[in-house]
Amino acid sequence: MTWFEQLTGIDPDASTGTFEAMLATDDYTHYSIDEHPVRPARGEVWPAPGGPILVSADRKYLWHQLKTCFGVADPDPDAPLEDKLRARARVMADWFAAQPDRDALKRDLETARLAWADIRHAADVLAAPSVAGRDTIIEVTDGDGEKRSVVRMPYRFSDAASGPLRGVPEPGEHTDDVLRDWTGPPAGAVDTISPHS
C-alpha cells in the first residue's frame, strides 16, 4: 500500500513499478529465482570507432566468439599462458579498432551473439527526448530561495502528482513539521526535542 493510498483511500494506477523495474533489470535476480549459485556478470569496455563500447562478455568468451565467427587467431599459439592472454587482448583490441564504423561493429557483435551497449555521458542521457517527455528533470526551490534542477522519482500515478515538493532543507529547518507529520504531537510539544537528538 502506498503512502498516498493510506492518506486518501484511493488506490491509483501507477505507470511504473519501480521495485519491479529494479528486479527486472537486475542481472542477478534470476540466480535467486533458480536457486542457483551466483556467477558474477562480467563485461569490458573497448575503444572503438565512434567511442568506447561495453561488451557483456569476459575475455575468454569474447575470444571464442571472435575466433569462431571472424577467424581471429593467436599470434603465437605456443607462447606461455600469460603471454598468450596478453597477445589475445591486443588482437581483440585491434579487431575493435579496425572496424570501419560503429554500425559495422554493432552488426558484427550481433552476428557473434555478443551483447553490447553504448557508453553515454550523463549529459547526453539527460538531453534525450524520453527524459524531457516524462519531465524527469524538474526545478525545485531550495531553502535559500534559489532554483535548482533535480531528478524526479519515476513514479507516475493516475490520480495524484508525484515529485519533490521543495528543495533539500537546511539541517533542522523542518524538524517540527516532520515530527508533527509522523507523530501528531500538539503544537509546542516538539519545542523540547532537539533537532540533533
- Distance of alpha carbon 44 from alpha carbon 40, whole angstroms: 13
20-42: pLDDT as tens digits: 677 777 777 877 887 878 766 67
| Contact of 57 with 42, CB cutoff 8 Å | yes
| Contact of 118 with 53, CB cutoff 8 Å | yes
Could you tell me what percent of the chain has a pLDDT over 70? 82
Considering the entire predicted model, what is its pTM? 0.56
Q: For the chain, which residues make up each domain, given as ranges?
A: 1-17+121-165, 44-119, 167-197
102-135: pLDDT as tens digits: 999 999 999 999 999 998 888 888 888 877 777 7
